[in-house]
Amino acid sequence: MPLLGLFLLAFVVLVLGGLFVRNLAEYRDTGALNAFTQTAVFLVMVGGALAWFGWFGNHGAFFAWPLLVVAVLAVLVVPRLFILERQKRERAEEERQFDDLPQHGGPASKGDFSDW
């Protein structure tokens, strides 16, 4: 394998590993499988590039490749956008449900600490 190929392979593995670690942390926080969307999109792009130079390019299907990649990306990304929007609305709703703290006003005095 030529040196450039090894560098490209190392780059792909490093980016894939970084995305996976980041998405795994998000999955632990949210518990939603859609946290791995970024990793899946990266794999589709790398796989799509390999397919472009492989089967699609060898069989003259140059127009089908972008359509297939865009369709797969749409299936991965569009639901993720809706889920993120829903989570943002839910967080905003939770923040609105907290009551305001009572306002007693003024600085503290020694009498406030008499029970201590």
Domain ranges of the chain: 3-97
Q: What is the mean pLDDT of the chain?
A: 81
Predicted local confidence at residue 14, as pLDDT: 93
**For residue range 6-40, what is the model confidence (pLDDT) as tens digits?**
888 899 899 999 999 998 998 898 888 888 888 88
- The answer to whether the beta carbons of residues 88 and 105 sit under 8 Å apart is no
Residues 6+ apart with CB under 8 A from 15: 42
Predicted local confidence at residue 89, as pLDDT: 92
Predicted local confidence at residue 8, as pLDDT: 85
CA gap 39, 25 in Å, rounded: 13
